[in-house]
Amino acid sequence: MDDAELLKSLLGGDESAFSELVRRYHSTLVKVARYYVASAASAEDVAQDTWIAVLKGIEKFEGRSTFKTWLLRICVNRARTSGVKEHRSIPVDPNESGPTVSAHRFDQGGFWSDPPVPFTEAIDTRLDNTAVLNAVRDAIDALAEPQQAVVTLRDVEGLSTQEVAALLGLSEANVRVIVHRGRARVREIVEEAMKGSKI
């Protein structure tokens, strides 16, 4: 069922619909909250508070945005009011090349000396795609903030750059830079796992 159907069931008193929404979005809430709070335990508390707020306010949801956007907005507001200072922008050094591990891939002229191979070509057909997906999830989980929150919202949850920027209080330019660097880091982690036969 999609979110709209689950909401309808939830409003009709179906507790399993709520359980499915929690299963679907809880880890994302924790990751987003972690951007604002100092510990994993605090992020878990924010996620729990978010679900309580959803239960209390579900009848007021008017559908002007998607349920996911509404849910994430509640989470961000809860995280901000948990005493964590608000981030308006993340300083970006234009001279920084991103992850240092990638520097060896370019020659003096800035061209690829070791171009990345698309994952679809690099993965042996004998490998279980589930293992690759798990490696990507683990790589995202290993990202530092704000990369983890931005990559999760942008690439896992499918929010637009504008939506991510609004939710996290960042500029759209910051989101684009952060997601680019986060994707590069995920690629490196997964490629290292593949080379090391970890998947």
Ordered by start, the domain boundaries in the chain are: 3-80, 100-195
Q: What integer pLDDT is reported at residue 83 of this predicted model?
A: 46
Flag residues of the chain having pLDDT under 50: 83-91, 97-101, 119-126, 199
Q: What integer pLDDT is reported at residue 114 of this predicted model?
A: 60
| pTM recorded for the entire structure | 0.60
Q: What integer pLDDT is reported at residue 104 of this predicted model?
A: 60
Peptide bond into 146 cis (omega under 30): yes
pLDDT tens digit string along 51-73?
999 988 888 888 788 888 889 98
Report the amino acid identity of residue 57.
G
Q: What integer pLDDT is reported at residue 64 of this predicted model?
A: 81
pLDDT tens digit string along 97-132?
444 445 565 666 666 566 555 544 444 444 556 777
Question: CATH 1.10.10.10: does it fit domain 100-195?
Answer: yes
Q: C-alpha dihedral over 158, 161, 164, 170, to 10 degrees? A: 160
Kindly report the average pLDDT of the chain as a whole number.
Answer: 77
> What is the phi/psi pair of residue 6, to 5°?
-65, -40
Q: What integer pLDDT is reported at residue 53 of this predicted model?
A: 92
Cα distance between residue 86 and residue 89, in whole Å: 9
CATH class of 3-80: mainly alpha
